[in-house]
Chains A and B, each alone.
Chain A
Amino acid sequence: MKPSVLEVRGLRIEAQAGVLVHGVDLQLRRGEVCTLVGASGSGKSLSCLGVLDLLPPGLVRTHGQLLLDGQPLAASNVRGCLASLVLQNPRSAFNPVRNMASHGLETLRQRGITGAAARARMAHCLDAVGLADRERVLQSFAFQLSGGMLQRMMIALALMAESPFLLADEPTSDLDALSQARFLDLLMELVQVHGLGVLLVTHDMGVVARCADQVAVMEAGRIVECQPAHELFQSPASATARTLLHAHQILCRSQP
């Protein structure tokens, strides 16, 4: 049976200056979207990277246990196999001197798929994310594609890795409104059809309203609230959630 719950317990991240993330617990279920919201600088992105132990130099993960269906496992076994990562800035996430096909082949080689099978799998995944002009995209380098296309390509790579979980760090904040809507549609389709489990880091309550099942609210390195999305919008408990919701509702009130 495929794994169904990926969990991190007591994630603690320290820098020389002090503790940045104080004991964060997160739970990802397959077929569900858990969003992590908070103001800038609250430690959302660090927590997301910390789950996979991909912290930038100078930061250390001093505590934090990953559990898969209750069984402990190491972050290095999760990275790329169980969970893929989609980053905010797609432009810097690709190797600038390699084309898209080479990124795809590298990912597939990790899974032991090579040659014609790899080509076929790559074509299938690009179709799944709606990159229609397949041949051109595969021959392109990162600078030749738009932000929205690169973001799709990143998801396609995650699909190729066939990882059941996806961590996405502000995946749509650099995209325009239309690309954002298309990206979120695609993400929700993957969640509903393929049962992907997603951790979505965002500061936009609109994205939360569109996608989320569970919402975790972060403030100053701590999770201050964790609720189902419906209940958070009904009765936010923490001040952070109330402020974010208030701003969101004012900007939405003028909506038709």
Chain B
Amino acid sequence: MSLLHVHHVGHRYRTGGLLHKRGWLQVLDGIDLQLHAGESIGLLGSSGSGKSTLARLLLGLEKPAQGHVSFAGQDVSQLRGEQARDFQRTVQLVFQDGPGAFNPRRSIGWSIAEPLRHLTDMDEAGRQARTLELLVELGLRAEHAQRLPQQLSGGQLQRANIARALAASPQLVVLDEALSNLDRLLQLQVLQQLEALRQRSGTAFVLISHDLSLVQYFCQRVVLLHNGRIVEQRPVTHDLCFAHPVGRQLQSAMLPARPQKEPSAQGLPTGAGQQLPLYTPESLSLDCGHRLRR
């Protein structure tokens, strides 16, 4: 089943200042994309490739200059009233900037319950229970609900941000670089939680990232954006390999799994001689040979 359908979408922004308009900058061009229920898609591209603009168009936060995004057969930017609420219940977005996404005067618990207040008919007790459930699910503690945003660390805040997006049990969550500020350990933990949720309740995800390793870990399909166009689309397999030069560039920018540098020659550490045999040529070729071959 297709959740969202993007038809030939293009988008452009006005450049220059308020008084000296300089013309238009085409940021997206001829995008066609289908998002299916229960599928996680990685939207990959370097900065300035139009990833975040596409996210905003998917959510109906902006109206595309060309083409349209449809939800259940209807144009997303035309939805009003109950239909709009239904759409918001179905699709949620998480931004990168945790501190900017919370009201600094309200507690975390209040913020997480906000979509529940607006989009569902849960009562106060139900909302509180759901908030606590979400906090625990994302590795936070119940007492965090009473804290203010500035009393949490960046990583905790970003997890609360994701918890809020999940509150109304949406069918699609768009994560716009939502994991980039977390350290590797937290990235892994959050992705594991989201994967469990995907398998349990069939939530679809769009992971917008420039980090190929996260996309490869989490997604089934990867869409490569470059200069506002989709240049490549392919299923994520174990031996994923892009044909487009931009994809190859991103692939070669990935950090190695193990140290590849030879132990430094000048300051030979004492006891290095005994340690060396552990580092067998086989273990080397497994990691790097694989990479070089493709």
Interface residues of A (CB under 8 A from B): 29, 31-32, 39-41, 146, 173, 176-181, 203-213, 228-231, 233-235, 243-244, 247-252, 254-256
**Known A-B contacts A40-B153, A40-B155, A205-B184; A177 and B275 likewise in contact (beta carbons under 8 Å):** no
CA distance A247 to B187 in the complex (A): 9
**Known A-B contacts A177-B210, A230-B275, A251-B213; A209 and B258 likewise in contact (beta carbons under 8 Å):** yes
**Interface hit among B18-26, B62-70, B116-124, B238-246:** B238-246
Taking a contact as CB atoms under 8 Å apart, the answer to whether B255 and A206 are in contact is yes
Taking a contact as CB atoms under 8 Å apart, the answer to whether A250 and B188 are in contact is yes
Query: Least Cβ distance of A179 to chain B in Å?
Result: 8
Can you list 29 A-B contacts (CB < 8 A)? A32-B264, A40-B153, A177-B210, A181-B252, A181-B253, A206-B213, A206-B255, A207-B255, A208-B259, A209-B259, A209-B260, A212-B259, A213-B264, A230-B259, A233-B259, A243-B185, A244-B184, A247-B185, A247-B187, A248-B184, A252-B257, A254-B213, A254-B216, A255-B254, A255-B291, A256-B239, A256-B240, A256-B241, A256-B251
Q: How many residues of B contact A (CB 8 A)?
A: 48
What is the number of contacts between chain A and chain B, taking CB atoms within 8 Å? 120
List the A side residues contacting B264 at CB < 8 Å. 31-32, 213
Nearest neighbor of B48 in chain A, beta-carbon distance: A146
Taking a contact as CB atoms under 8 Å apart, the answer to whether B294 and A256 are in contact is yes
Query: Least Cβ distance of B22 to chain A in Å?
Result: 15
List the A side residues contacting B35 at CB < 8 Å. none
**Known A-B contacts A230-B275, A251-B188, A255-B213; A176 and B240 likewise in contact (beta carbons under 8 Å):** no
> Which listed residue, A40, A177, A233, A254, touches B253 by the CB 8 Å rule?
A177
Query: Least Cβ distance of B140 to chain A in Å?
Result: 15
> Which listed residue, A29, A176, A212, touches B267 by the CB 8 Å rule?
A29
Q: Is B214 an interface residue (CB 8 A)?
A: yes
List the A side residues contacting B53 at CB < 8 Å. none
**Known A-B contacts A209-B257, A251-B217; A230 and B263 likewise in contact (beta carbons under 8 Å):** yes
